[in-house]
Every structure is written in structure tokens, then in C-alpha cells.
Amino acid sequence: MADVETAQRALRCLDLTDLTDNCTDHAIDVLCQKARDPRGPVAAVCVWPQFVTRARDVLRGSPVRIATVVNFPAGGEDVERVMEDTKEALSDGANEIDLVLPYEAVRRGDLATASDMVSAIRDIVDQGRLLKVILETGKLVDPALIETASHLSIEAGADFIKTSTGKTPVSATPEAAEIMLNVIKASGRPVGLKPSGGIRTSDDAALYLALADRIMGAGWATPKTFRIGASSVYDALIATIEGRKGPTSAGTY
């Protein structure tokens, strides 16, 4: 069960997200105000590319970073297009790029196509900015494929590997996160993990933190190495911090 300390830790590792199809400027303003809450602040906001400039302006002077998504959510294979989208997002003020791996290429055994995409975007995301690679583990399904995608992404230069877009029926699972953490540990590289999608309660967040502590060691999971990609979990974490009853892992109150 999540306690106040765990909830505070999760809040600071949160990538507070709005990737809804009907997102508006007002929604971004609300998101950014939440992100700056003194009980956090959260690590980053994650928004559509067209809202990066808005988020940058609202968060000016804040330590909250701005993440955006490219090749999202389909994980296509047009490297040139994704490169252009990435350059534009960085120019607009994004600090972090969440790139969807061409996971269908991985499924059919075309690892070079997937690796080339990550490497190309890695070359653009520089100057202390982060590249998070979304594996879409709910589509890869097979543990061996999840392990392969993790290795491939790390070798090609990912700063983080991320479970999911949140746009598929199966998003983050502890089973996928455990595979990814074990690959990170074996790599010996300073790569982070971002479970994303379907994380709605303080207990959900605590589960992934506990998993990271068990595999990587206590204290490893900080905003530099661990993020939680979520939108609805924010209110649950605040409720836990304030001693109020929030939603349970079953989604009830």
C-alpha cells in the first residue's frame, strides 16, 4: 500500500500527461498549474507537439521539463518525417522527446529499421535533452520481443525506455517493466524506465517504484532514472499525501 512518502516520491517522478484527442490551450494551462504544485513539482509535462510552446510559456521559470511525442502513436517507419517533427518540437522548447519505436518492425524481425530510427533521433536530441523510446509492450506481447526491443533501444542511445503510448488496450504491466529493468541493469548504462498508461492509483505507482527498488536498488528511482507517465494518477497521489482516501487499484473509492 502506498504511504505519504511513497506518494510524494511518485509525484516527483511523474510525467503529467495530456495526450487526449480533444486537448485545448486551457487544458494545458490547468495541467501546467498542477505540475508546479509545491508538493512536487512533477518531473515533466507530456503534451502533443502543437502545445509545446504553450507549455513552455506557462512553465517559464519552473524546473518542470517539457516532453512531447513523435512517431506517435503508430510507430511508423518514415525516419525523415520523424526527424523533422523532432527538430520542430525541440525548436519550440521541448526538453524531452518520447519516440515510438517502430514496433511492427521488431515483430517481423527487422531490427535494423527500428534501430536506425532510434539512432537518427538520438543524433538530434542533444544538449542535455532526453530521448525516451516507447516500446509499446502491449503490442510486442512476447517477453522475448520486449527484451529485444529494450536491448535495441539502449544500444541505439535511449536515455529512457518506456512501456507504452497509453493508446492500446494493454499499456504498462509489471511483467513488462520487470523485463525492461533487468535489461537496463544488465546493460550497465545510465538508462531510465518509464512505465506509462493504465497507472491510476497511488498503489499502482507504488508497485512500480517497489519493482525498481527491488531490481535496481533502493534510491535508484529518481526523476533522473524513473518516470511514471500518467494523467489521472495525479489526483490520487495528492489525496494520499493529504491523508484523504483516493481510488483503490480496483478503480473504486
Q: Is position 162 annotated as part of the catalytic site? A: yes
Per annotation, catalytic residue among 15, 98, 159, 204: 98
CA distance 136 to 134: 6
Active site residue 167: no
* 116 assigned to active site: no
Q: Which residue is it, cell 491523508? A: 243
Choice among 34, 132, 162, 203 that is catalytic:
162
Contact indicator for 191, 161 with CB cutoff of 8 Å: yes
* Helical residues (DSSP H) of the chain, grouped into ranges: 4-12, 25-35, 52-58, 79-92, 103-107, 111-124, 137-140, 143-155, 174-187, 202-216, 233-241
**Residue 210 is placed in which grid cell?**
517497489
| CA distances for 165 relative to 29, 71, 135, angstroms | 22, 10, 8
Could you say which of 18, 159, 194, 204 is catalytic? 194
Which amino acids are annotated catalytic? Answer: 98, 162, 194
